[in-house]
A and B are shown apart, each in its own frame.
Chain A
Amino acid sequence: MTRAATAKLGAYTALAGLGLLGALVAGRPELVALAAPFAAVLVAGLSLAEKPDLKALFDLDQERQVQGETVAAELELWSRRGHSHLELLLDLPDGLVAETPNPQLISLAGDERRPIDHTIRCERWGAYLVGDLVLRSQDPFGLLVHEWTIERKRPLKIYPHGETLRRLLRPLDTQAFAGNQVPRARGEGIEFADLRPFEPGDRVRRINWRATARRGEPWVTETHPERNSDVVIFLDTFLEARLADESTLDQAVGAAGALARHYLAEKDRVGLVAFGGVLNWLTVSSGLVQLYRVLDSLLDAEIFLSYAWKDIDLLPVRTLPPKALVLAISPLLDERAVRALLDLRARGFDLAVIEISPVPYAAAREGRLDELAWRLWLLRREALRSRYLRLGVPIVEWRAGTPLQAALEEVRRFRRHARTLRV
């Protein structure tokens, strides 16, 4: 707690002193009378000023919320002594905005419990600690100001608001576990595949009686099994392009959250690799718990500047299971991420790259040289995309404002016609 004298204290002291000295010099008692009220205010104000004794309770109505939604916060203050002038600020971290008036100027009577409700809008995804209160109390005469903070931190996780996807990218191969995917292979399942003549060993329940009656010999129905797939979301966190409150990382995290949610809803197994200055990974798994694991890991995603060379050998083997679809979300700004993706392709992974375009975040400056540099940079990015395409890696440029579904459809169109290439 800090205590500071206001300018008023100094001014009143000076006025009282001048009045008293002036009275002595001029020999006029009226000047004492003029100075006396100022001196009286000083004595009364300083005598009544006490160290504030304030208790506070703070709580949030929920610990998790989606970006763009609101959270209700309840603050309760009470004090044995009254406060005639109490300024109260709920100090919110960047990314959270109070919709209710903040700060507030209130008065608190002695032994009064004062509830104050706040509505907090979650502007940006992330993991926050909310509950820093900054208080400033003035004595009744406004001579002294006490400032202090009360920490009643409560965790608040804001998940990215991902868009709804109607159709997902399918991996080239499925896994052995049950899921919603229909593979090319035939086996036990309910999806019709074909009809064929009965062979020894076929189960009787597989006999297609209509086909058998038509052909005069037993025929069986072949089906596709229902399988799941493994999807690894590869998040490039080496660098980001930022403009005001938006960045390529925000876009990438939103997309990763949406993809994880939809793949897990379809019983696929999803893993996460945050490849950047700090390496973070999550092995593939399925279910609601995995969804929250992925989302919590995404909240930790941040740009951590590092010059250390990193490649995918640093990743544990289990994070990249065989036949998994690796969905890379990257602004392709860092050479290490570019190389790592090429390395993944060279190792035969089923790779698709969603390039979060940094172009809208970096406008060209005026001037011939700057414009030339800008065009060269765009050409280099175009060349990089061509390099991926030549290797059979679908790559799509995704800009802010366009739906993620459009980018996925573009990847799907490429994969429909491109052949898998071993390099």
Chain B
Amino acid sequence: MLSLAGGLVFRWSAALAAGIALLGAEQAVRLATGPSHADPWTPLYAAGFLLAAELAWWSMEPRVPSFSDLPVLVNRLAVIILSCAGGAVLAALVVLAAGAPLRGGVGLEVVGVVAAAAALTVVATVARTRVR
């Protein structure tokens, strides 16, 4: 929370990211020390993290004193609300998938690593090629 507050006060993006990451780490520790079954409240936490991150970045966006249209504010709020709702649904799907009766093993672990790497690769590729 301190890192998050520091990021907001000093408008420092890295501190904000660190704050969110530390909150996530705290959640990870709590999960690791808790029961082995998937936490049903995880989609809500995921949406909360995203909401905190969105609001934090919105508050520290570089801006100049300017006249602002009301629709800009409405659009931005709508995007944040939809993102959080969509994120919650996605997290719920992940939690549901995690609860599926699949047997673990090296093969599934490899699939997980490949999926994680592929997800990041997709993001990087889209960031590089989508807009010219």
Chain A residues in contact with chain B, CB under 8 A? 3, 5-24, 26, 28-44, 46-47, 49-51, 84-85, 87, 101-107, 140-144, 146
Whether a CB of chain A sits under 8 angstroms from the CB of B3 is no
* Contact (A16, B24) CB under 8 Å given A33-B43, A40-B87, A40-B90: no
Contact of B64 among A17, A46, A103 (CB under 8 A): A103
Whether a CB of chain A sits under 8 angstroms from the CB of B17 is yes
> Do A107 and B49 have beta carbons less than 8 Å apart?
no
Proximity bits, B12-23, A CB within 8 Å = 1, else 0: 011011001100
State the CA gap A259–B90 with chains docked (Å). Answer: 77
Contact of A46 among B31, B57, B92, B126 (CB under 8 A): B126
State the CA gap A105–B68 with chains docked (Å). Answer: 5
Chain B residues in contact with chain A, CB under 8 A? 13-14, 16-17, 20-21, 24-25, 27-28, 31-32, 38-39, 42-43, 45-47, 49-50, 53, 57-58, 61, 63-64, 66-69, 71-72, 75-76, 79, 83-84, 86-88, 90-92, 94-95, 97-98, 109, 112-113, 116, 119-120, 122-124, 126-127, 130-132
State the CA gap A22–B27 with chains docked (Å). Answer: 11
Which residue of B has the minimal Cβ distance to A141?
B79
State the CA gap A36–B127 with chains docked (Å). Answer: 17
> Do A7 and B67 have beta carbons less than 8 Å apart?
no
Interface centre among B16, B58, B127 (most CB of A within 10 A): B127
Contact of B132 among A21, A36, A42, A51 (CB under 8 A): A51
Does more than half of chain B's interface fall in helix, strand or loop, or is it mixed?
A: helix
* Contact (A31, B31) CB under 8 Å given A24-B112, A46-B123, A46-B130: yes
Interface centre among A20, A36, A143 (most CB of B within 10 A): A36
Sample 14 A-B pairs with CB under 8 A, ordered by A number: A15-B17, A19-B24, A28-B28, A29-B94, A31-B24, A31-B28, A31-B31, A40-B83, A41-B87, A42-B127, A43-B123, A85-B76, A105-B66, A141-B83
> Do B95 and A39 have beta carbons less than 8 Å apart?
no
Which residue of A has the minimal Cβ distance to B99?
A29
State the CA gap A5–B72 with chains docked (Å). Answer: 20
State the CA gap A5–B50 with chains docked (Å). Answer: 19
> Do B45 and A34 have beta carbons less than 8 Å apart?
yes
> Do A106 and B69 have beta carbons less than 8 Å apart?
yes
> Do B95 and A30 have beta carbons less than 8 Å apart?
yes
* In the complex, chain A residues whose CB is within 8 Å of the CB of B68: 104-106
State the CA gap A336–B76 with chains docked (Å). Answer: 64
* Contact (A22, B28) CB under 8 Å given A30-B38, A36-B87: yes
Shortest A375–chain B CB gap in Å is 47
State the CA gap A24–B28 with chains docked (Å). Answer: 12
Contact of A30 among B42, B63, B116, B132 (CB under 8 A): B42
Contact of B57 among A3, A40, A42, A142 (CB under 8 A): A142
* In the complex, chain A residues whose CB is within 8 Å of the CB of B112: 23-24
Instruction: Please provide the 9 A-B residue pairs with the shortest distance between their CB atoms, ordered closest to farther.
Output: A37-B87, A29-B98, A101-B67, A7-B13, A11-B17, A20-B116, A33-B91, A46-B126, A33-B94
Which residue of B has the minimal Cβ distance to A32?
B94
> Do A18 and B42 have beta carbons less than 8 Å apart?
no
Which residue of B has the minimal Cβ distance to A42?
B123
Which residue of B has the minimal Cβ distance to A17?
B120
Shortest B35–chain A CB gap in Å is 11
Shortest A34–chain B CB gap in Å is 5
Apart from A17-B116, A39-B123, 13 more pairs, CB < 8 Å: A3-B131, A14-B17, A16-B120, A21-B116, A29-B38, A30-B39, A30-B95, A30-B98, A37-B83, A84-B72, A84-B75, A106-B68, A106-B69
